[in-house]
Structure formats: structure tokens, C-alpha cells
Amino acid sequence: MSNWSPKILAIRIHSLAATFNRSYHRATALHHPPTGPPKLSPYDVNCILRANEHSQEFFGGSVKSYDSNQLASNSPIEDSRSEASCVHTSGLLVGIFDGHGGPACSQVISKRLMRYIAASLVPPDDLRQHMLGGAQSFSFLSCHNDKLEFVSEIKELYEKSFNQFANELTNTTLAGFQMHQTLENAFVRLDQDLSREAIEMPSLRTMSVAMSGAVALVAHIDGPHLHVASVGDCSAVLGTVTDTGQWVAKKLTNEHNSDNVGEVRRLLSEHPATERDTVIRGERLLGQLAPLRAMGDFRYKWSREQLEQLVVPQFGEQVIAPYYLTPPYLSACPEITHHILTPRDKFLIIASDGLWDTMSAMQTVHLVGEHMYGKAFLQPLKLPKHDITLGEISQMLSTRKAGLQKKPLDRNAATHLIRNALGGTEYGVEHSKLSHMLSLPQDIVRLFRDDITITVVYFDSEYLRNCPT
């Protein structure tokens, strides 16, 4: 700690204390389940856990499949997720979006951000031809689990913003393409469009998006290239196996909150020294917002004059945070990581902080690794096509019999993680604990657990072994 300034050290100590107090109820509930009979049957528990799960398989390329699931705490749930293949390029996009102040912002950006990124990846000349041919934003993606659609009123507005963005992209030069810059530009530009739409065309819909916010994590996978772009406190973890068969968890993201000393330094450097005691108070931005980067949340980005003109008449004076002197205080610029996949990289876990509140990166990797191997025993036994002896068949049956004892309850790895996150003990998943966590009343459930959204992407080791980098 000797390299930390007194101000940052004080923020860090205060942050640790506040984090402890905030986590007390959740930790107590997770580690000390109540006594008495369970409220939900195993069947009921399974129905709740599996209600929103989704799996998708792919043929060819570095991604074999993915599992996704989410469990609500808030009503309505403030998390969103999105998974889509790029139509005009060969990449796969997967994203997690954790909203706050309502679900509006997370729902909107979960659809729009993917479209901005997909269009940005198309060479300018090709993009120009697509736009001249009447291409619309949704035509750049093949979505795999998209159940939401914008109403016509807002859809036209969003399409107009997309067309303007895409037409500007056609004037860029391919020689200057950089993936980091492309992802950053898509995040920042969409955030600017959300702001402009609310200012120029204020309505209940545009203002609900502008006044709520969301942290976002998007992973783009194309061959051996994995890029992760993140604002806020969602996390991405790579599951890798060593020569000796041991699992290693490689974290690909940093949380943008007051626990991140580098992030605190960045934020303080962007404001006058006279605000060093007010920019972060009580481990929160201006004493109010936990993430130090997010999309939306324009009450921390617009000028005081804009807030007084556009927001105060509808939401009241309290919408302007104390010590609001030199905005913007909040950034939508993502932190980006690039990783070259190898055959040892088996899967990627991306999730909202509802999972990481209860589990470490290493715990999730171990659970998914065990699930990946155990899931093989859920499939029908298949004999090889070549000749095989009765002794070899007997050995296969013995191995399968032993493995069946370890088979997971869930085919979906995201469901497996949620089950263990809420019901796991050192002796395995305990039904009474899981039942309790899933049957908490709506008025108190948020004290014990957050919305949880998870996507697990599996890589094709054989493809990665033979593909060029």
C-alpha cells in the first residue's frame, strides 16, 4: 500500500468497510440456511432454475456451443443478455447487461450495441453496398435467443440513429481498422445516441432509458481471437487446463468501481483537486452510483443546465447529485482485452455481478470443468465405428457406471452455476438452502441475492489446434 496516496488509501479502507456491511445479509443467507422443512420440492426448484435457460450449438469455427441462463431477483429483472452471429463477418457476439434504476437501459443496449458492433466490423465498401441496398440494423445479426422487439415508435428512432452511424462508418478507411478502436467507438457512439435521442426527442421512453443505466460486457470471438469489452462490474473468466489436467481461471476484465485503485485514480484525475473528497463518497460515485463506468445514467453526464431544463421538471431537484460541479462524472468508454485462444482454453464464462457476489473465478471454472466432463454421461452410450472387443466394451461400461455417479443434474452449465451459487455447501448442493433462496418474498429477496445472468461459451480444441493465428 506504500504507493497509494492518502486519499486513495482512505477511499479503499472506507470501501472495504462498506462492502462488508453491504454483503453481510447475503453472506449470512448463503452460509447459514434456515432450519425447518424446505418450502419448495426438487421439482419446483428445477422448474424455477431452468425456466430461462438456453443452449446453442455451432458447426465449424472455434465455438462449439454455449449455455445461457438468468434468474431474477428484481421484478422486473434488470439484467439482459444477448447472443448473435455476425451475418457479414464470421464472429460470434455474446453479451451481459446489468441494469440499475430499472430495466429500460439494459434492455435497449442489449439489442442495439450488438448491431453497432456488427456493422462496424463490415469493410466500409461492403457496408456502403448493404446500406444502399436498404439494410436495416437487425439484418447485420443472426440472433439466437432474442425474445424482445422494440415498439414501432421507438424502433424508427433507433433505426434512424443506426443509419446515421453506419453511413459515417462507410467513410472510414479499412487500412486504419483496429479492433480495440472499433469496439470502443461502438460503445461510446451508442451512448451518445441515447443522450441525443433523449435531448432532441424527449418522451417517456427515451427519458426512461436516459435516467436508468447499465453496465455492459460484450465478447467477440472470431477464430482464435477473443476480444472482451467491458464497462462496469460484469466479469469474464477463461477456463484453461494445464498439461497436468489442472484447471486455471484467467480473469479477462476489471471491475470499474471504488475497489479498483487504478479506476479511482483515473476518475480523480479528470476533476479538480477541490473535488477529491466529493467525487467518490461512501464507495460510490457522488455518493450514489456503485459502478464508475456505465451506459445511460445521464444524470451523471449531462450539464447542470441540461438537467435543470430536461429532468428536474419531471423528476424533481433530487435528481441532481450533491457536489455536481464538473460533469461528466461517468464514462461509457470500455476497457478492452484481447486474448489469442489455444487448445488449452476450454470455455469462457461471462456473468453479471450476481454470480460473483457468491463465487470466485476459480470456483466457477472448477464447476464448469467438472460439469463439462460429467455432462458426457448424460448422452446415450455410443460405440466406436471400428471393430471393438468385448473386453473393451466392458471397460467402457465400467467407466460409464462410475461416471454416472458424478453426472450433473443440469445439462446447461449456466444453470449448474446458479444452482451451486445459491445452494452450494462444502458437501455439495443442499436442497433446503436452495429452496430457501428461491422462495424469499419479493420485498426482501434483493437483500440476499441479485439478478444473476450467465453465459458459458465452449471452444473447439481441435479447431484451435489447427487454425492459423
- Asked whether 449 and 73 are in contact (CB, 8 A), the reply is yes
Nearest to 343 by CA among 235, 248, 466, 222: 466
The burial class, CB within 10 Å (0-12 / 13-18 / 19+), for 264 is buried
pLDDT of residue 394: 76
CATH superfamily of 32-256+330-466: PPM-type phosphatase domain (3.60.40.10)
User: pTM value?
Assistant: 0.87
pLDDT of residue 427: 83
- Asked whether 413 and 371 are in contact (CB, 8 A), the reply is yes
Residues 6+ apart with CB under 8 A from 218: 93, 94, 95, 113, 114, 117, 183, 228, 229, 230, 334
Q: With 50 as the cut, is the pLDDT of residue 16 above it? A: no
Q: With 50 as the cut, is the pLDDT of residue 9 above it? A: no
- Asked whether 289 and 252 are in contact (CB, 8 A), the reply is no
Q: What is the pLDDT of residues 129-139, one digit of tens each?
A: 999 999 999 99
Q: Which is higher by pLDDT, 16 or 468?
A: 468
pLDDT of residue 20: 45
Residue 218 in grid coordinates: 460484450
Q: With 50 as the cut, is the pLDDT of residue 7 above it? A: no
Q: What is the pLDDT of residues 231-286, one digit of tens each?
A: 999 999 999 999 999 999 999 999 999 999 999 999 999 999 999 999 999 999 99
- 174 band by pLDDT with thresholds 50, 70 and 90: low
Average the pLDDT over 349-370 and give the result: 96
Q: With 50 as the cut, is the pLDDT of residue 1 above it? A: no
- Averaging pLDDT over each range in 137-151, 363-377, 402-416, which range is the top one? 137-151
Q: With 60 as the cut, is the pLDDT of residue 2 above it? A: no
pLDDT of residue 13: 44
> What is the percent of the chain where pLDDT is above 70?
86
pLDDT of residue 373: 82
Q: What is the pLDDT of residues 183-208, one digit of tens each?
A: 999 999 999 999 999 999 999 999 99
Distance between CA 392 and CA 395 in Å, rounded? 5
